[in-house]
Structure 1
Amino acid sequence: MKLTTREKSSLFFEGVSTVILLAMINLAIIVILQWIVRRNPGVNSGIFIIKQSLAFGPMEIRIWSYQRIVIGIMLIIDVWVVWWRLMRRYRQYQMDHIIRELHYIAQGHLDHRISFKLNGSLQDVITSVNTLVDSVVQSMDDERQVEKSKDELITNVSHDLRTPLTSIIGYLGLIENKQYHSEQDILQYNHIAYEKAVQMKGMVDDLFEFTKVQQHGAPLNFMKVDLDPLLEQVSASFELEAEKKGIEISTHVDPKPLMIEADPEKLGRVFSNLVSNALKYGHGATWIKLSASRYHEMIIVKVANNGEPIPQKSLKHVFDRFYRVESSRSKATGGTGLGLAIVKGVVDRHHGQVSVASDEKETAFTVVLPASQTAPSEAAVNGDAAKAQLAE
C-alpha cells in the first residue's frame, strides 16, 4: 500500500512532535531526579555507596552512574513510544485506505477488489472483504440466473400450452357454433379436443414434477427397493405401446435381488421417462433393453435402444430443460422437453450421476446410484461412478 504525500508528511510531523514532546518530558524527569538527589542526603549517600560497591579491577573502574542508567532507560522508552505512535498512525492510514476502497465498491463498482497487501490482521480484513464481495456478486448472478430461468420457464410453458389449447378451443368452437355436418364430425372434433387435453395434462404433470424435483427442501421417501420388480413394472407399463411400434422391451437384473436405498416413486419416474424417451425418439428401433447390475457400492442401470442415434452436438444438452434435439419431433410427439431434466434432477437428489452415449449401434442412458444413501462423499461417489461406467 502506497501512502499519499499528505500521509507521509503527517507521519513525519507525528514523529518530530513526539520526539520533541518526549525530550521535554525527559528533561523534566532528569531535573526532578537531580533535585530529589540534592535535597535528600540519604539518597545521595546511598547512590555513592552503590557506586563504590560496583568498582572493579585494580583501577577501580566504576560502571555505575544513575544519570546514565536513567537516560538509557528513557531512550529505550522514547524509541518504543515513537515507534508505537508512528505504527498506530500508519495502521490508521491503512484502515482509511480499506474504508475508501469499501466505499468505492459500495458505490456499485462490484468488479473492483482491494488489491494491496498488508501485514497482520488487516490482511485478513482485506481477504474477508474481497471474499464477501465475490460471494455477493455470485449471489446476484445466481439470482439473475434464477429470474432468467423463471422467465424462460413461463415463456416455454406458455408456448407449449398455447398450441394444444388453441386446438381445443378451435374444435370445441366448431361444435359450439354448430359448424359441423354430421354427428361423425362432432365425434371427430370431440376426439381431437380430448387428445389435445390429454397432451396438455401430460405437460402440466411434467412441469409439476420438474418443479418438485427442483425444490431440494422437499423430502424424499427413502427405503430399500428391489430393482428387479421395479424395472419389470416399468417394462410392463410400456409393453402395449411398444408392441404397436414393433419394439421389444426386455429387462435383465444381476444379481437378484438387487437392493438399493431410494425413493421408489421417484426412481420409477426416472426409468419411465427414459423408456418413454426411447419410444418417442428412437425412430427405427426394434428393441429397448433395461439392465441393472452392481459395482462395489454403486448400482448401474442402463436403458438402451437401437434406434436413430442422437447427434453428437446434442448429447451434452439433452438433460437441459426444454431442450429438444429436433423441434419437429416435439410437434409430432407432444413432448415438453422436461423428461430428461426430471431424470437428472431425481438422480442428483439421489447423489448419483446420469450420462448418455449414442452411436449407430445403440443409444444408452446410464444411471449410476449409490446402493446406500449413507455412504460416500461427493468426490468418492463421482470417482466410483466413473469407474462403474468404465466397467460397463
Structure 2
Amino acid sequence: MTLLLSIIIIVLLFIIAVQSYSRRKMNRSLNEIQKKLSDIFEQKTTEKVLIQTDHQTIKQFLIQMNRLLDYNQQVIADYVKTKESLRKLLSNMSHDLKTPLTVILGYVEKLHLDNSMSVEERSQAISRLHQKTLNVITLLNQFFDLVKLDSGDYSFPLSKISINEVCRKNVLEFYDLLQSKNLRVEVNIPEQPYFVLGNEEALNRVLSNLISNAIRYGSDGGEFGLTVREDGEFIAIDIWDKGKGIAKVHQDQVFERLYTLDDARSPEFQGSGLGLSITKNLIEVMKGSIYLSSTPYEKTVFTCVFHRITY
C-alpha cells in the first residue's frame, strides 16, 4: 500500500513538473509573441510573427495572427493608395476645372465689357463659351458617374444584345472624325451575329471611349482598327491603333482612376484620367473583362471580352 501510494505521488509530481514546464514554455512563447507584436506595431514593419513551438494551440494562434497582420497591412496599403488617389483627384480637378472656367470667365467678361465686338466675333465667342461649358459639364459628369458606379447606384439592366450591330453603329458615328484624321480604317465584323448578355447603353459608352482614345492618342500611327472575333465561349472586341502606344511600366495602371500619362495633361491630349476607369467599371458590370497589349508604333490593342450567349 505504501509502495502504491509512493508510485502515485511520484506520477503526480511528474505530471505537475511536466505541466509546469509546459506552462513556462507557453509563457515564454506568449511573451515572445507579445514582444514581436509590439515591435511590429511600433516600427510599422511588414514582418510576421515567427516563433518556433510545438504547441498546437499556439501554432494555430500564430497562423490566425499572421493572417490578421496580412489583412492589417493590406488595409494600410489601401489607405495609402486611397489617400494618394484623393490627393491626385484634388490636383487633377483643380487643373481640369480651373483652366476651362478661367477661359469661360474670360469670354463672359469680353462679351460683357467689349462693346466694339462685331456680330461675327460675338457669335464666335458665344460658340467657344458654349463648347467650354459643355467640356466642364462632361468632366463633372465623369466624376459623378465613377462615384455612382463605385457605390452601386447605377442601374444597368442586362439583356441580349447584338455585338455586331453595336460595333457597326459606333464605328459609323466616328466615320467623319476618322476621315478628317486621314486614318486607314480596318474594320472586321463578321456577318454571323454574336450575342452577349449586356447593356447597350453601357457598351456604347465603352466603345465610344475606346474608339475616341485610339483616335486621340494613336492617330500618329496612321491606322485604326476594330475587330469582333470568337474566342471559345467568349466574344472579344479588339480596338487598336499603331500610334505611340503605352509603355510597359504604365500598362497595369491605365485603368486606375485619375491615372494619366504625362502627355495626357497637355492641352492637345487633355484627359481627366477617368475614362478608362469608367470603361473598366462598365465592362465589369456586364460581367466582362478588359485587357491592354501595347508595343509602341507597332500595335496598341484594348480587348473587351464578354460571355457569348446562344439562346
TM-score norm. by structure 1 comes to 0.68
Higher relative contact order structure (alpha carbons within 8 Å, sequence separation ≥ 6): 2
Distance 1:127 1:365 in 2: 42
Describe how 1:181-220 pairs up with structure 2 within 5 A. 181-215=117-151, 220=156
- 1:367 — aligned with what? 304
For 1:109, the equivalent position in structure 2 comes to: 43
Structure 1 CA distance for aligned equivalents of residues 2 and 179 of structure 2: 113
Q: Does 1:73 align with 2:22?
A: no
CA contact (8 A) 1:168 1:196 kept: yes
Shift of 1:147: 1.8
Match of 1:336, SS state, is: coil
Change (3 A) 1:289 1:97: closer
**Percent of aligned pairs with the same residue?**
21
Structure 1 partner of 2:174: 238
**Structure index of larger Rg:** 1
Q: Does the residue aligned with 2:109 lie in a helix, a strand or coil?
A: helix
Cα distance between partner residues in 2 of 1:314 and 1:185? 47
Q: CA RMSD in A?
A: 3.0
**Residue 79 of structure 2 corresponds to residue 143 of structure 1:** yes
Q: Distance in 2 between matches of 1:334 and 1:100?
A: 53
The alignment status of 1:84 with 2:19, answered yes or no, reads yes
Question: Which residue number in structure 2 is paired with residue 22 of structure 1?
Answer: none
Give 1:174 shift.
Answer: 1.2
Whether the 8 Å CA contact 1:199–1:334 is kept in 2: the answer is no
Q: Which residue of structure 1 lines up, in the alignment, with residue 205 of structure 2?
A: 269
Does the CA-based 8 Å contact 2:283-2:290 persist in structure 1? yes
Count of residue pairs brought into register by the alignment: 304
Deviations 1:37-76 (CA, angstroms, capped at 9, x unpaired):
xxxxxxxxxxxxxxxxxxxxxxxxxxxxx33333233322
Shift of 1:275: 1.0
Cα distance in 2 between the residues matched to 1:355 and 1:238: 22
* Residue 259, structure 1, aligned to residue 156, structure 2: no
Distance in 1 of aligned mates of 2:101 and 2:156: 34
Q: State the shift of 1:268 in Å.
A: 1.9
After TM superposition, the runs of 4+ consecutive aligned structure 1 residues lying more than 6 A away are none
1:274-285 paired onto structure 2 within 5 Å: 274-284=210-220
Output the TM-score relative to the length of structure 2. 0.83
Q: Which moved more, 1:352-361 or 1:152-161?
A: 352-361
The answer for the alignment partner of 2:112 in structure 1 is 176
Kindly report which structure 2 residues correspond to 1:29-108, keeping only aligned pairs within 5 A, or say none: 66-105=1-40, 108=42
2:260 is equivalent to residue 326 of structure 1: no
Distance 1:295 1:268 in 2: 21
**Secondary structure, counterpart of 2:203 in structure 1:** helix
1:268-307 superposed matches below 5 A: 268-284=204-220, 288-306=224-242
Tell me the equivalent position of 2:65.
129
Residue 289 (structure 2) aligns with: 352
Report if aligned partners of 1:302, 1:366 keep a CA contact under 8 Å in 2. Answer: yes
Q: 1:217 offset after TM fit, Å?
A: 7.6
Q: Which moved more, 1:80-89 or 1:261-270?
A: 80-89
The 1:124–1:101 alpha-carbon spacing in structure 2 relative to 1, beyond 3 Å, is same
Q: Which runs of 5+ in 2 are unaligned?
A: none
Corresponding position: 1:310 with 2:234 = no
Q: 3-state DSSP class of the match of 1:122?
A: helix
